[in-house]
């Protein structure tokens, strides 16, 4: 009934001429068994991973929006993805808005960090640069093969997601604040603490050719894991939900992105039981369908692209100096995770030494906007982005350039947040990122 009633309602709007065209593309980027992934080594393929995206072209250079079913892409790897996809689309790298969905049983890449591990003769592998380059080649070829069609309207819709997201933050029995709730929370006390701060709404931005929905992009703020950590490669519950939408509406291309999700996950509703994966998928799918059904459309008359340059200060805590991380990387007695993190940290400091900023791009689409924020930014940044553009639907894509790690807020730091998986200065990161987001979303920001 949803599909039929939705399409009947859509058909009432007349087609309009437009100077904009859109192409969709997809490529399978599933790693082979035995490949390095974030949680260790791929032992099986539970379901395939994809790169899915759109290319929008009009009076200015094309803009690419692409979502990878990978955990993270960082530093030189992120640069390589964007430069190669830009060349395929006939545009510039800053106009490639690349985001990862962030399932943990998936590839996690930083080719410079892998070189550092190889030079240190580490037995541990962070990523496989050969496989990554092959995945980039497949995705670039998919862009080159894609065909364009006219788009005349932009659509926006949203729906509340019930019983999926919660916040890492909770109050311990002794009254102290902890940020230790995880995606699969087995401790009943921790799991049953209040949801905490989330963005309850899934948002959808769609592109239409008259009455035909050509493509729709969805974003929701949550870590995308149900069970994980054993090496069973999967796009997890967002992948199931996205495939369900693609099956139900095969004439429309569907792309799912994780929002700013550094501190949001399903731990309030998930204890890691395998049965919860389809349950969470069903709840997400229900919201995706509702957001699609609630779409409001407007003529696509003008677009704008803005890109803010973001520079973070390096973290100065104990263990984060270049000398300390080099020592950790060189020590054969260092456990896998710490050795990988040292290589990632050195790669990050090299980037800062090159004075290479992070791009925070935004695509302006009249009543809607799409902005990409870096790494594991907390959900509050997504809420601030919406406040920066209150007259528009803002689709926030998280896990852009992932090199900074967690990006907390001042409020979280004041309450004692101190996760090791972050390479930015806690005292200044909020101000830097908030300024960049506001600049990218401002119509008056420089192109």
446 has pLDDT over 90: no
Task: Indicate if the alpha-carbon torsion angle 108, 254, 400, 398 is positive or negative.
Answer: negative
Q: From CA 115, how far away is CA 113, in angstroms rounded?
A: 5
**pLDDT-derived band at 13, boundaries 50, 70, 90:** very low
How far apart, in Å, are the Cα atoms of 371 and each of 15, 145, 273, 363, 442?
A: 28, 26, 34, 6, 11
269-290 residues labelled b (16+ CB within 10 A) or e (exposed)? bbebeeebbebbbebbbbbbbb
- Backbone φ and ψ of 82, nearest 5°: -70, -40
Q: What is the mean pLDDT of residues 357-367?
A: 98
Q: Is residue 240 a contact partner of residue 198, using CB atoms and an 8 Å limit?
A: no
**pLDDT-derived band at 444, boundaries 50, 70, 90:** low
> Who wins on pLDDT, 446 or 241?
241
> Who wins on pLDDT, 4 or 62?
62
Angle CA 88–54–51, to nearest 5: 80
The conformation of residue 325, written as its DSSP 8-state character, comes to H
Task: Indicate if the alpha-carbon torsion angle 361, 363, 366, 369 is positive or negative.
Answer: negative
Share of the chain above pLDDT 70, in %: 95
Q: Is 39 helix (H, G, I), strand (E, B) or coil?
A: coil
Q: What is the mean pLDDT of residues 242-258?
A: 98
Q: Residue 208's beta-bridge partner residues?
A: 153, 213
Sheet holding 304-310, edge to edge: 304-310, 358-365, 368-372, 393-397
Largest CA distance in the chain: 68
5 has pLDDT over 50: no
User: Which tokens hold the place of 293?
Assistant: 């059904």
Q: Is 271 helix (H, G, I), strand (E, B) or coil?
A: coil
| DSSP structure string for 361-405 | EEEEETTEEEEE--TEE-HHHHHHHHHHSTTSEEEEE--SS-TTB
**pLDDT-derived band at 6, boundaries 50, 70, 90:** very low
What would the pLDDT profile of 389-411 be if each residue is shown by its tens digit? 999 999 999 999 999 999 999 99
447 has pLDDT over 80: no
**pLDDT-derived band at 443, boundaries 50, 70, 90:** confident
Angle CA 333–131–405, to nearest 5: 55
């Amino acid at each position: 009934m949803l599909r039929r009633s939705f399409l009947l309602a859509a058909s009432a709007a007349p087609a309009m001429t437009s100077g904009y065209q859109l192409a969709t593309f997809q490529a399978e980027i599933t790693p082979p068994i035995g490949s390095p992934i974030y949680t260790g080594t791929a032992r099986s393929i539970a379901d395939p991973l994809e790169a899915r995206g759109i290319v929008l072209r009009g009076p200015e250079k094309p803009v690419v929006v692409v979502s990878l079913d990978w955990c993270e892409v960082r530093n030189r790897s992120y640069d390589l993805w964007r430069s190669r996809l830009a060349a395929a689309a006939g545009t510039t790298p800053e106009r490639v808005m690349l985001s990862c969905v962030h399932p943990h049983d998936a590839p996690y890449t930083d080719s410079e960090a892998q070189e550092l591990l190889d030079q240190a003769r580490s037995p541990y592998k962070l990523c496989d640069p050969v496989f990554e380059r092959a995945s980039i080649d497949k995705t670039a070829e998919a862009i080159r093969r894609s065909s364009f069609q006219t788009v005349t309207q932009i659509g926006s819709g949203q729906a509340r997601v019930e019983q999926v997201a919660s916040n890492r933050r909770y109050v311990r029995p002794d009254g102290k604040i902890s940020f230790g709730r995880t995606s699969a929370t087995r401790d009943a006390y921790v799991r049953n603490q209040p949801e905490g701060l989330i963005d309850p709404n899934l948002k959808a931005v769609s592109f239409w050719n008259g009455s035909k929905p050509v493509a729709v992009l969805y974003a929701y703020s949550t870590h995308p894991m149900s069970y994980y950590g054993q090496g069973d490669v999967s796009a997890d519950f967002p992948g199931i939900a996205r495939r369900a939408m693609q099956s139900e509406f095969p004439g429309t291309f569907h792309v799912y992105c994780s929002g700013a999700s550094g501190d949001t996950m399903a731990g309030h509703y998930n204890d890691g039981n395998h049965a919860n994966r389809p349950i969470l998928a069903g709840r997400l799918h229900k919201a995706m369908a509702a957001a699609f059904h609630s779409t409001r459309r407007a003529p696509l008359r003008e677009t704008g692209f803005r890109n803010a340059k973001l520079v973070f200060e390096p973290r100065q805590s104990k263990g984060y100096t270049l000398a300390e991380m080099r020592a950790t990387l060189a020590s054969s007695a260092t456990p896998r995770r710490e050795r990988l993190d040292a290589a990632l940290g050195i790669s990050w400091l090299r980037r800062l030494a090159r004075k290479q900023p992070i791009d925070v791009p935004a695509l302006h689409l009249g009543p809607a906007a799409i902005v990409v924020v870096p790494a594991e930014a907390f959900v509050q940044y997504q809420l601030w982005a919406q406040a920066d553009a209150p007259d528009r639907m803002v689709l926030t894509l998280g896990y852009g350039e992932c090199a900074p790690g967690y990006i907390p807020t001042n409020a979280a730091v004041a309450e004692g947040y101190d996760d090791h998986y972050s390479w930015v200065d806690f005292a200044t990161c909020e101000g830097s990122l908030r300024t960049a987001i506001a600049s990218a979303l401002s119509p008056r920001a420089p192109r």
